[in-house]
Structure 1
Amino acid sequence: MLIAQLQKLLTTPITQKSRHQSRLAVIFWYSLSITFAVGYILMGLRQAFSSKYIVSDDAREYISWMYRYFNPDLFPGDLIADYFQSVTPIGYGIVYKIIAALDIDLILFSKIFPIVLGLITTSYCFLVCMQILPVPMVGFIASLLLNQTLCMHDDLFSATPRDLIYPLFLAFLYYSIRCSGLGILIVLALQCLIYPIIGFVNLLILFMRLFRWQNGQITISQNRKDFIFFAAAMMIAAIAILPYAIQSSQFGPAITAAVARTMPEYWHGGRVSYFSNNIINYWFDGRDSGFLALISPPQLLFGLLLPIILRFQPHFLLTKQLNDEVKLLLQVVIASLIMFFTAHALAFQLHWPSRYTHHTFKMVLAIAAAISITLVLDATFQWSRQNGREILILGTIMIFSAALILYPSSFTLKVFPKTPYLEGKAPTLYNFLQKQPQNIVIASTSGEADNIPIFAQRTILVGKEYALPIHTKYYAQFRQRMVDLINAQYTEDINQVKEFIQKYHVTFWLLERSAFVPEYITKNTWLQQYQPAAQQAIAKLQKTLPVLATLINSCTVLETDNLVLLKTECIKAVTNT
């Protein structure tokens, strides 16, 4: 009797005959889905608002230059700001331009936005599940798993365009199942404007949907409207992506794979760490190269059971309720893999290959896992009612449910949710620089320099966070700056220091107090990428003290715990000895 009640509550599909009861079930499971989503996000946002100078790690790349929306005179002639403005998708820039027009602080908005994204993502995930298998619990399990995986990585809190992949792609799936042409085209346009590379996956899915699998054969649609619609989708995607392609090409072309293999930036410890001597890591788990990169939690792997279950449908009666559009999940996998291998073949013209599977696989596996779990549970209920053993079944269900829901708090996860927020450690420095003229330039090898553009809105010459070796015209200039900076910082020749200051119009030089010991360079994987300058600097430090170190006492204008800020006017005034 209890098993029958549980089956009715958990795995009974909604029907038109019991609208009131079905509506209550949908409201209950949807509300539960939203509750967990909001709970996870609020847990992540606790850190975001724990201090004034806290921001998402990658937001420094995208949001810093956007302060130009408030003041167009910021970052004049700034290579870094100009570059990241050029590679920021147009739609994403428009979102923040609207926020700036509303006079809302951009960092504040980037912290609040995950709540909105989480609600939309959860809602569309629930709706997609209800379209494929009209059992409300499926929507809850899928959204629970998806929100868990999003909060285990920085896929909602990054304050970058990738945060919008999930709500937009799930919306695309929903409107595809509903055959809503207008909805598909609107979402496709938004996707191409905000995260263009996923637009290619969308187009491949629409292309595959022109074909049908019937009686063991592939047939093409005979409906002329299907081809007209696909042509319209192609045109909209081209119109949305082309301006971005032109905009981002000013610092192109993209580096070739052959050249990248010769650069330490693309190997272990480098800024990108794309290549690996471990072929398993390279193809499967590599953050930028592997097609299963960052796929977790392990519960998602229940999604792999779905194809097996569908092969034995007579044993799973609930499969009769499956919408034929369950095939859309397979189409997503195929389209993602096609783009994954295409991106590998054209490296790095289409960005990192893993971006085509990393996000879409998470969504597909979450939905497939929820369907699989529900189908198995329903079959278990059927078996139990025929064979007894209710206590065993109830105990198993309780243990499994607890494991599913309480997984984030288990000992296997050291941190949940995992957020990319970091805290600026030098507020005195930011306040001081903010009061300086807008055209100043700060040179530094310190990691704290990465925070200056977003917290002080002032130009830095270089910074680890901005050292992306993707586009040749940008990175050639960036690398030369780094080499010149290392050479000047560790030289004994005051004239070389002055020439560097003059060449790059440096106003301030930010130094760490520990910068003049060999270990500062030997233990810094970022500086080690710039050879032979780094090795030459180590050799010099082992023999004598660089001239810059001797000027700290006389030219420092600001000091913090481990940082000193030197004014270059003072350095230029030093005479040769």
Structure 2
Amino acid sequence: MLIPQLQKLLTTPINQKSRHNRYRFTVIFWYILSLTFAIAYILIGLQKAFSSKYIVSDDAREYISWMYRYINPDLFPGDLIADYFQSVTPIGYGILYKIIAALNIDLILFSKIFPILLGLITTSYCFVLCMEILPVPIVGFIASLLLNQSLCMHDDLFSATPRDFIYPLFLAFLYYLIRSSRFGILIVLALQALIYPLIAFIELLILLMRLFRWQNGQITISQNRKDFILFTASIMIAGIVILPYAIQSSQFGPTITAAVARTMPEYWHGGRFSYFSHNIISYWFDGRDSGFFALISPPQLLLGLLLPIILKFKSHFFLTKELKDEVKLLLQTAIASLIMFFIAHALAFKLHWPSRYTHHTFKMVLAVAAAISIILILDATLRWSRENGKQILIFGTIIILGAGLVFYPSNFSLKVFPKTPYVVGQAPTLYDFLQKQPQNIVIASTSEEADNIPIFAQRTILVGKEYALPIHTKYYAQFSKRMLDLINAQYSEDINQIKDFIQKYNVTFWLLERSAFVPEYIAKNTWLQQYQPAARQAKTKLQNNSLPVLATLINSCTVFETDNLVLLKAECIKFATKN
């Protein structure tokens, strides 16, 4: 009796008739369990988010800093960094935060709590999508469990950036596509194009592929006029939504070419983007920005690769007869993603990083395919055990399998789970000091702590490691020039050079690390090493015991200091030139 009961609980399909009877409870149970795990993972991740006042997601510093202009339009006047990231922020994402600012909700606080809602929406659409493909409730639970584990192993849910919206929107798109809800498809496509346009290209390709049918070894065109109307409407909506964003972001363009990028240390190992690699397998397979199979984890997702094999041997898997024809949507998604992946490589870097077209969609496809594969195999195994009397063995196997899926994140092999990309500001008193200064001040610094100033103090920095994106040529040309001038001035023995630098960039304060004037500071700083020959020359000077002018002015011009940071007033430095 044990095996039949397990089979009824775990692998019995919910058909149209049973949905109105006792099986409704089964659906609700597995759905609530799915939400429970999602909430648990998110709440664990958010513990760090609220562990300090000055803590924020790493990439949120790029997107949210400039948005304080919504609250105070006078912030960041003439700020190259703020202007650039405002131009590359998707329009829909900017509108969302504009609404939040208008509601008087703190932007950083919102960025921390919004993953809860996104996680619940993602889980819900994942669950109902699975029910449309294979109406066995536990499939929805396993798929959402694997997907949530995957999201929490990378910064795909807590990043406070547009990519957090990919998963709920794309899963919603697939769901409405299966349900033939044209209104739902168009709404979700519009939102995707507004918030993360890259995935909208994949959705358009899927709609294009569905205009064709594979029958009897031949490709035929759909005879349904509504399919063409839907595709045409989708093209028009995507074009209307994406075009303004393309124009907006082009003011700092064009994008850098692959040929030029190959000559830049920023695009190799240790650079801002480790895009290129001498290992061709890594470059195409698992490179973070270049590989089509990048950041695919947990390994249980790879069970999804078994689904095509299982479907080749349907006669051995009784439950496959309950599998809906729309399972082909998983394959269509994978094909569309790969097409965009290779197009992005061919047009590098006009369509951003190629891996963005497969990294996210593959996770969703594999999570659903893995869940289906597991249940098809489980059902076949249960049926076999009923015939061969291996009930105890099968029962033990199910317990081990379930425990492995549920408790995988607590496995010793995962050092951190959930992986949250939060950074903690190390100089709260510095942020407080700068907030009391005029809004038009400019801080020059090679310290990584400068990255936190725009988000926590809402003041302009000249450069910052976090903002050193070598993508758009007009932006990065200015940024690189600033970096070269800053390094040259910071380690100069000529005070007139420093004075010219301050005047050229209207520098108000100079933030220094006390360790900045030893050779190791430059030698071990991979970011500074990208800016040659300035970094090399500065290192040589320090090795020759040269004493930069700024080092001699620390005692006389410091207006604020912490353990390892000193803030020099530029006016004091300029005054020192007159003596």
| TM-score normalised to structure 2 length | 0.99
Task: Note the alpha carbon deviations across 1:535-563, whole angstroms, 9 max, x for none.
Answer: 00011112211000000000000000100
1:546 is aligned to 548
Question: Hey, what's the Cα distance between the residues in 1 that align with 2:543 and 2:315?
Answer: 76
Letter in 2 for 1:13: P
| Per-residue deviation, 1:226 | 1.5
Task: Note the alpha carbon deviations across 1:383-411, whole angstroms, 9 max, x for none.
Answer: 01111111111111111110110000001
Letter in 1 for 2:13: P
1:503 is aligned to 504
| Per-residue deviation, 1:354 | 0.1
Question: Hey, what's the Cα distance between the residues in 2 that align with 1:569 and 1:397?
Answer: 72
- 1:528 equivalent to 2:532? Answer no
Question: Residue 576 of structure 2 aligns to a residue in which SS?
Answer: coil
- 1:356 equivalent to 2:357? Answer yes
- 1:7 equivalent to 2:7? Answer yes
1:439 is aligned to 440
Question: Hey, what's the Cα distance between the residues in 2 that align with 1:575 and 1:138?
Answer: 73
| Per-residue deviation, 1:224 | 2.2
The answer to whether the Cα contact below 8 Å between 1:168 and 1:187 also exists between their aligned partners in 2 is yes
Task: Note the alpha carbon deviations across 1:439-475, whole angstroms, 9 max, x for none.
Answer: 0000000000000000000000000000000000000
Question: Hey, what's the Cα distance between the residues in 1 that align with 2:577 and 2:66?
Answer: 38
- 1:514 equivalent to 2:531? Answer no
2:560 is aligned to 558
| Per-residue deviation, 1:412 | 1.0
Question: Hey, what's the Cα distance between the residues in 2 that align with 1:63 and 1:281?
Answer: 33
Task: Note the alpha carbon deviations across 1:286-327, whole angstroms, 9 max, x for none.
Answer: 100001110000000000000000000011111001110000
Letter in 2 for 1:274: Y
Matches within 5 A, 1:149-164: 149-164=150-165
Question: Hey, what's the Cα distance between the residues in 1 that align with 2:365 and 2:226?
Answer: 28
| Per-residue deviation, 1:84 | 0.1
Question: Hey, what's the Cα distance between the residues in 2 that align with 1:319 and 1:83?
Answer: 52
Letter in 2 for 1:337: L
2:329 is aligned to 328
Identity value in percent: 83
Question: Residue 418 of structure 1 aligns to a residue in which SS?
Answer: coil
Question: Hey, what's the Cα distance between the residues in 2 that align with 1:99 and 1:442?
Answer: 28
Question: Hey, what's the Cα distance between the residues in 1 that align with 2:492 and 2:257?
Answer: 34
The answer to whether the Cα contact below 8 Å between 1:133 and 1:323 also exists between their aligned partners in 2 is yes
Question: Hey, what's the Cα distance between the residues in 2 that align with 1:388 and 1:219?
Answer: 49
Letter in 1 for 2:439: Q
Question: Hey, what's the Cα distance between the residues in 2 that align with 1:516 and 1:252?
Answer: 36
The answer to whether the Cα contact below 8 Å between 2:431 and 2:453 also exists between their aligned partners in 1 is yes
Letter in 2 for 1:573: F
Question: Hey, what's the Cα distance between the residues in 2 that align with 1:575 and 1:512?
Answer: 22
1:567 is aligned to 569
2:209 is aligned to 208
Question: Hey, what's the Cα distance between the residues in 2 that align with 1:366 and 1:218?
Answer: 29
The answer to whether the Cα contact below 8 Å between 1:494 and 1:576 also exists between their aligned partners in 2 is no
The answer to whether the Cα contact below 8 Å between 2:499 and 2:577 also exists between their aligned partners in 1 is no
Question: Hey, what's the Cα distance between the residues in 1 that align with 2:301 and 2:57?
Answer: 26
| Per-residue deviation, 1:223 | 2.0
Question: Hey, what's the Cα distance between the residues in 1 that align with 2:435 and 2:156?
Answer: 31
In structure 2, list runs of 5 or more residues that go unmatched.
none
2:90 is aligned to 89
Question: Residue 204 of structure 1 aligns to a residue in which SS?
Answer: helix
Matches within 5 A, 1:90-489: 90-489=91-490
The answer to whether the Cα contact below 8 Å between 1:117 and 1:163 also exists between their aligned partners in 2 is yes
Question: Residue 15 of structure 1 aligns to a residue in which SS?
Answer: coil
Aligned CA-pair RMSD: 0.7
Question: Hey, what's the Cα distance between the residues in 1 that align with 2:525 and 2:189?
Answer: 43
Letter in 2 for 1:551: L
Question: Residue 413 of structure 2 aligns to a residue in which SS?
Answer: coil
Letter in 2 for 1:525: T
Question: Hey, what's the Cα distance between the residues in 1 that align with 2:554 and 2:445?
Answer: 14
Question: Hey, what's the Cα distance between the residues in 2 that align with 1:288 and 1:156?
Answer: 18
| Per-residue deviation, 1:227 | 1.2
| Per-residue deviation, 1:576 | 5.7
Question: Residue 110 of structure 1 aligns to a residue in which SS?
Answer: helix
Q: Which runs of 4+ in 1 moved over 3 A?
A: none
| Per-residue deviation, 1:482 | 0.1
The answer to whether the Cα contact below 8 Å between 1:138 and 1:371 also exists between their aligned partners in 2 is yes
Return 14-23 or 476-485, whichever deviates more: 14-23
Question: Hey, what's the Cα distance between the residues in 2 that align with 1:199 and 1:470?
Answer: 21
Question: Residue 294 of structure 1 aligns to a residue in which SS?
Answer: coil
The answer to whether the Cα contact below 8 Å between 2:144 and 2:367 also exists between their aligned partners in 1 is yes
Question: Residue 147 of structure 1 aligns to a residue in which SS?
Answer: helix
Question: Hey, what's the Cα distance between the residues in 1 that align with 2:6 and 2:495?
Answer: 81
Question: Hey, what's the Cα distance between the residues in 2 that align with 1:123 and 1:48?
Answer: 24
1:51 is aligned to 52
Question: Hey, what's the Cα distance between the residues in 1 that align with 2:345 and 2:552?
Answer: 50
1:39 is aligned to 40
In structure 1, list runs of 5 or more residues that go unmatched.
none
1:16 is aligned to 16
Return 226-235 or 158-167, whichever deviates more: 226-235
- Report the count of equivalent residues: 577
Question: Hey, what's the Cα distance between the residues in 2 that align with 1:37 and 1:229?
Answer: 34
Question: Residue 22 of structure 2 aligns to a residue in which SS?
Answer: helix
The answer to whether the Cα contact below 8 Å between 1:15 and 1:22 also exists between their aligned partners in 2 is no
Question: Hey, what's the Cα distance between the residues in 1 that align with 2:577 and 2:288?
Answer: 50
| Per-residue deviation, 1:17 | 2.8
Question: Hey, what's the Cα distance between the residues in 1 that align with 2:506 and 2:22?
Answer: 72
